[in-house]
Amino acid sequence: MHSEFRNRIAALDTASLCDANPQIRTLDSGIRPVNPGPRLVGRALTVACDGDFLFVLKALHEAEEGDVLVITAHGGRAIAGELFATESLRRKLGGIVVDGAVRDSHRLAEIPLPVYSRFVHPRAGTANTMSRYHIPVECGGVLIHPGDVLVGDADGLLVSTVEELKATIPAAEKIQQQEAVVLEGIRQGRSIFEYLNFEEHYENCLHGRSSALSFVFPG
């Protein structure tokens, strides 16, 4: 992933990207960050397994800098923890996303690597079953293809193609810039309603007219 492209994505909140593109795929809210601090940006390296982490290890062994391990893990046992996360950090991966369980959560919270999971469980899975990787997987209720780009922060995760993100970034940057202006105005004592077409929009909605809530900027 080109560094300038990655940096522009990393500077954007998932909320701004979703506002800019309502069709962008978002993982369901059950998959949460173990450590809400680090932001996640990277290309998907996908794994599908059933309570067994042999192919998680294989994917980790082949992963390249910036990759995000995206793991659909059926079964209740953990298929990643402190050791895998620390190795991922050493390899400069973008993060780990598990639709399933991780463990060592107190340690994962201290590692500066984005790790997302559906739940935690102390018992590890097995490591002797042939699974699949580099395939489309359903994770968090959405289909993720190898090479798709994931973006995550404390609000959650979204996934997109490079082309879709390139088309979305300018609008997301504009939204984020506008919200920064509004936020500063509120902090300076101005009302949020000075920055919204609320009254006009409300009247339009009340009378069944087409309308959209939007920012307006006082002179």
Give the per-residue SS3 of 163-214. Answer: HHHHHHHHHHHHHHHHHHHHHHHHHCCCCHHHHECHHHHHHHHHCCCCCCCC
Model pLDDT for residues 179-207, shown as the tens digit of each residue: 999 999 999 999 999 999 999 999 999 99
Q: Who contacts 216 (Cβ-Cβ below 8 Å, separation ≥6)?
A: 195, 196, 197
pLDDT-derived band of residue 172, with 50, 70 and 90 as boundaries? Answer: very high
> What pLDDT was estimated at residue 219?
66
- Give all strands (DSSP E) within 62-174, no chain letters: 67-74, 95-102, 115-120, 132-133, 137-139, 142-144, 149-153, 156-160
Residue 3 has pLDDT above 90, yes or no: no
What pLDDT shows up at residue 1?
75
Residue predicted with more confidence, 36 or 8: 8
pLDDT, one tens digit per residue, over 69-85 is 999 998 889 999 999 99
Which single residue is written with the structure tokens 């359903």? 138
What integer pLDDT is reported at residue 211 of this predicted model?
A: 96
Q: In the chain, what are the domains?
A: 3-161 (3.50.30.40)
Of 60, 47, 212, residue with least CA distance to 139: 47
Cα angle 141-9-211, degrees, rounded to a multiple of 5: 70
d(CA 61, CA 119): 24
